[in-house]
Amino acid sequence: MKVILHVDMDSFFSAVEVRENPELKGLPVIVGGGIKTEEEKEKAAEEPDRKIRGVVSTCSYEAREYGIHSAMPLSRAYKLCPDAKFLPVNMPLYKRVSREIMAILRKYADKIEQVSIDEAFLDVSTKVRDWDNAREYAQMIKREILEKEELTCSIGIAPNKTVAKIASAFVKPDGLTVVEEGKAREFLAPLPVKKIPGVGPKTDEMLKKMGIEQIGQLASCDVQKLVAKFGKYGTRLHLVANGVDESEVEEEWERKSLSRERTFAEDTRDVSILNDCVDGLVEEVYNAIKREGFVFKTVSIKVKFEDFAIHTRAKTLKSFHSDLSMLKKAAKELMTEFSEGKGREKDKGKKIRLVGVRVSNLGVVDEKQRRIV
């Protein structure tokens, strides 16, 4: 029997801030901004009200009641709740807490895979006797994190990773959801398809057009129909909807690349739309690598044409970089091949459906020693 836990901390950055400043308890707390590029510093000097620069990284559940969420511009959050406590991102603090939490989790797992700063999969198959025992085991983990770190988390328990991840989000904050062997289909059936990790607004809409809103409908849909629409991804969607996921918990958490992509509402060849899109994706990728403390060597652009043909172009730099201007320059250069029709003859004149920006060949800067590891 395989038993997988997915542990995800509740409103992580803001919960850490509240722990450090208990007077914030029960208040709407918003963490965001504080990523200071040279460009941002100049703008901030002109406009000293820091509250309205940048985006929300996360916010407390009290702030979520006002409709505030991650990635929302801080200016909008400020309008929705001007009395909220606005705090800048204090990454070194959250990283330290994250390391402590991962060290606690490691003791409980046969194998552990950290997926982001505040979440991890644990394979506990040999540690528990049955599903009731797995629940008690997860309660022990929650207790230890609460006692040692004064933080709550939500845990999903299931026979595989994807179902465990969906289960951890099912009850939040401070949740614990167990999906026993053989119960995954039943658990997933009533949930909206966008609860499946990786299903974004575009896929959600395409599925809606096929009359599929709940995971149960996806599970009973003819897999060939899904393949016709989504290619290989259709097969994966169908398996997941049926509660099937064979992927293993991978011990070493090594992020190999980081990317963002966007599908246009309408296919386009408009150079200014394409360039704006690349700029936006570059900023998102940049924020993500900053957040996770990465430096990069390789930048790639991916383009999907209207006929679904996918092409990529990559550029590898001589050394590691972490600056926005370098990323922007490389991405722009690569994009001109597509946007200005300098690419392959047979792609000329085709409209573009999707654009992606990726950084790979990643390194991590060791803050103490200021070197790349």
CB of 44 to ligand TTP, least distance (A): 19
DSSP character string of 196-229: STT--HHHHHHHHHTT--BHHHHHHS-HHHHHHH
341 makes contact, choosing from ligand TTP, Mg ion, none, with CB < 5 to 8 Å by partner type, with none
Check binding of 58 to ligand TTP (CB under 6 A). yes
Binding-site member from 118, 123, 180, 261 for ligand TTP (CB under 6 A): 118
Helices (H) and strands (E) in the chain, counts: 14, 14
The CA-based angle 47-49-54, given to 5 degrees, is 90
Pairwise CA distance, residues 153 & 273, whole Å: 41
| 146 near ligand TTP (CB under 6 A) | no
Nearer to ligand TTP, 12 or 338 (CB): 12
Query: What would the x/- binding string for ligand TTP be over residues 19 to 48, using CB under 6 A?
Result: ------------------------------
Please name the amino acid found at residue 289: I
**Which residue in the set 40, 66, 70, 332 belongs to the binding site for ligand TTP (CB under 6 A)?**
70
Q: Which stretch binds Mg ion (CB under 5 A): 82-90, 110-118, 217-225, 262-270?
A: 110-118
Nearest-approach distance from CB 366 to ligand TTP, in angstroms: 21
DSSP letter assigned to residue 58: E
| 119 catalytically annotated | yes
Structural contact between residues 303 and 314, judged by C-beta atoms closer than 8 angstroms: no
Q: Does 162 bind ligand TTP (CB under 6 A)?
A: no
Contact with ligand TTP (CB under 6 A): which of 173, 280, 293, 363?
173
CB of 183 closer than 8 Å to CB of 136: no
Catalytic choice (119, 180, 261, 284): 119
> Rule CB under 5 A: is residue 123 a binding residue for Mg ion?
no
Site for Mg ion in 170-189 (CB under 5 A): none
**Residue 339 CB contacts under 8 Å (≥ 6 apart), including other chains:** 269, 271, 274, 275, 352
Evaluate whether 154 touches 171 at the Cβ level (below 8 Å).
yes
Nearest-approach distance from CB 117 to ligand TTP, in angstroms = 6
CB of 169 to Mg ion, least distance (A): 9
Q: Which has the closest alpha carbon to 60: 32, 35, 36, 33?
A: 32
Q: Which residue in 255, 344, 334 sits closest to 296, CA to CA? A: 255
Supply 288's token pair: 């993500």
- Comparing CB distances to ligand TTP, the nearer of 32 and 356 is 32
Count residues near ligand TTP (CB under 6 A). Answer: 16
> Considering the rule CB under 5 A, would residue 118 count as an interface residue with Mg ion?
yes
- Cα separation, 325 vs 331, in Å, equals 10
Residue 8 makes contact with Mg ion by CB under 5 A: yes
Q: Please report how close the Cβ of residue 94 comes to ligand TTP at its closest, in angstroms.
A: 7
Q: Rg of the Cα trace of the chain?
A: 22
> Nearer to ligand TTP by C-beta: 57 or 339?
57
In the complex with ligand TTP, the residue whose CB is nearer, 223 or 365, is 365
Residue 45 parent element (H or E): helix 38-46
Residues lying near Mg ion in the complex (CB under 5 A) are found at 8-9, 12, 118
Residues lying near ligand TTP in the complex (CB under 6 A) are found at 8-13, 57-58, 70-71, 117-119, 172-173, 291
Residues with catalytic function: 119
